[in-house]
Amino acid sequence: MVICTYLIRLELKNKKLFIPIFILLTSVFSYLAYSPKEIAIAGPYFPQIDYFEEELDLISRDLNVKIRYVPFSDIESEIIEGNNIEEFDLAIIPNPQGVVNLGERGLVYPITIALENEIIDKNYSDHLQNITTSDQDKNMYGVLFRLIPNSLIWYDVEKYEKIGAPKFDSYEDIVLFTKENVSNGKPLWCMDIESGASTGWIASNWLEDIILHNYGPNVYDEWSQQKITPKNNDIKSSILSIGEIIFIDNAVYGGKNRIINKEFRNNSRNLVDSNNTCVFSWSGHFANMYFPSDKEYGNDYDFFKFPSVENKNAMVGLGDSLVILNSSEDSIKAFNSLTSNRFGQNWTSHADSMFISANRNSNIDKIKNPLLLKETTLIRNALNEDLFRYDASELMERRIGADHLLTALKNYISFGNLVINSISQELESQY
């Protein structure tokens, strides 16, 4: 009102100044009224953030909001525990346990404020829903945003063809083939697992594969929820199954002592080294990051899914979850866009894209990377049959999944079957 009065007086006194000032003020008010609001998303560092930000730019233009992604080395400790949560509207959290913990503490909203149950059920498998749902209040506090597959057996293409390009229907087939075809000084497997203080996590991936593929999702879920212990015959026999390969004489490059003491990144390099006889390496998607730059997927190396008789499409993997920190209308709109069937089309159109949506109805028609298409198809098959399972060691209490389990598997690899009973008893005591 004061400004209007001033303009009227100005018009009466000096008509030459009135028009430019009026235009200027109109422009300022228009900008303030229609300038995009900002949505801030906190999350971890990950490869191809630039492709992710391209997707965010598309959403920004569509919603007339400015979306800003802020990566942190440790999202939970730096944002959540650092009391900076109010600065952000959405967050990407690397583990489901953390999502549920935040929900039960009242720090994130149930996703049902943004998505209807029908949409959730249509787009997400039961398992993906369950692992971000609180047992206490039954609320679902996050949706899996992207997935990363484990359950892969990598091989050198030329060496693989030289041994007859064998096909395996089960883990037992792999063990039998290894026993029949290994010869002194010519190991078939590269299986280094050293990873500093986290040494053992790759062995836990092996164990998860064996439990899920050999004994099925129900046993896997009971184990990951700590409802059955390592003394259970299925779990104990699965630990012993790891040894069925690594304890075969001359089967593993460098033997069991090398496995513990040499860094896991060596596997990819050694696998495609013509001076090394390794044909196979049992790793997740992460192995692809460490092949030499002069080696090409499909021509030099490839992979097949871990085999299974009764659970053919089963897969173990990891992923990140999207959560809601701010219930504003713009936050909800952004959340819906990030979880829609359309999200990721631009990202996956890049020839080197590695984004796999957890939404089983997401559009995959624009995938150009043959490796990504193969992995996405495997994960999609698993999701459609509710046979995709999240890394069990990440779902367990940290003191068990990240500590005692890894130590137990290191001890087993180091000392063999003789210590299996003491290992089982030690793990049992932690439950």
Token pair 């906190």 is at which residue?
A: 42
How much of the chain, in percent, has pLDDT values that exceed 90?
75
pLDDT at 31: 41
Q: Per-residue pLDDT averaged across 352-376, rounded?
A: 96
The answer, yes or no, to whether residue 77 has pLDDT greater than 90, is: no
pLDDT band at 195 (very low <50, low <70, confident <90, very high): very high
What is the enclosing helix (H) or strand (E) of 309? none
Nearest to 133 by CA among 152, 156, 114, 108: 108
Would you say the CATH fold of 152-313+397-429 matches that of 37-146+320-384? Answer: yes
Q: Tens digit of pLDDT for each residue in 238-278?
A: 999 999 999 999 999 998 889 999 999 999 999 999 999 99
Does 431 score more than 80 pLDDT?
A: no
Please state the rounded mean pLDDT for residues 35-60: 92
Which pLDDT value is given to residue 82?
65
Q: Is the pLDDT of residue 296 over 80?
A: yes
pLDDT at 323: 97
**Averaged confidence pLDDT in the chain:** 89
Reported confidence tier of residue 144, pLDDT bands at 50, 70, 90: very high
**C-alpha to C-alpha distances, 53 to 56, 60, 70, 187, 338, nearest whole angstrom:** 5, 10, 10, 44, 12
CATH 3.40.605.10 assigned to 152-313+397-429: no
CA 43 to chain centre: 13
Structure token digits, residue 88:
């952000």
The strand pair at 37-44 and 65-72 is best described as parallel
The answer as to CATH 3.30.300.160 being correct for domain 37-146+320-384 is no
Per-residue confidence at 400, pLDDT binned at 50, 70, 90? confident
| CA 184, 190, 193, 194 torsion-angle sign | positive
Examine the pLDDT at 27 and tell me if it is beyond 60.
no
Q: Does residue 396 sit in helix, strand or coil?
A: coil
- E strands in 151-251: 152-156
Q: Is a pLDDT exceeding 80 seen at residue 120? A: yes
What pLDDT score does 311 carry? 96
At residue 32, the pLDDT reads: 41
Q: Is the pLDDT of residue 25 over 70?
A: no
**Averaged pLDDT for residues 300-314:** 97
Is the pTM higher than 0.85? The answer reads: yes
pLDDT of residue 34: 45
Q: Can you tell me the mean pLDDT for 354-359?
A: 97
Q: Can you give the residue ranges of every domain in the chain?
A: 2-29, 37-146+320-384, 152-313+397-429
Q: Which of 21-25, 63-67, 372-376, 393-397 has the lowest mean pLDDT?
A: 21-25
pLDDT above 80: residue 210 = yes
Which of 62-66, 102-106, 279-283, 398-402 has the weakest average pLDDT?
A: 398-402
For residue 35, what is the DSSP state? S
pLDDT of residue 19: 53
Residue 429 has pLDDT above 90, yes or no: no
CA dist 2 and 265 (Å) reads 69
Tokens of 386: 């509710």
Q: Are strands 315-324 and 143-149 parallel, antiparallel or unpaired?
A: antiparallel
Lowest mean pLDDT among 136-145, 165-174, 181-190, 401-410: 401-410
pLDDT of 38 over the 60 cut: yes
Give the least confident one: 6-20, 37-51, 154-168, 346-360.
6-20
Beta bridge partners of residue 315, listed in sequence order: 388
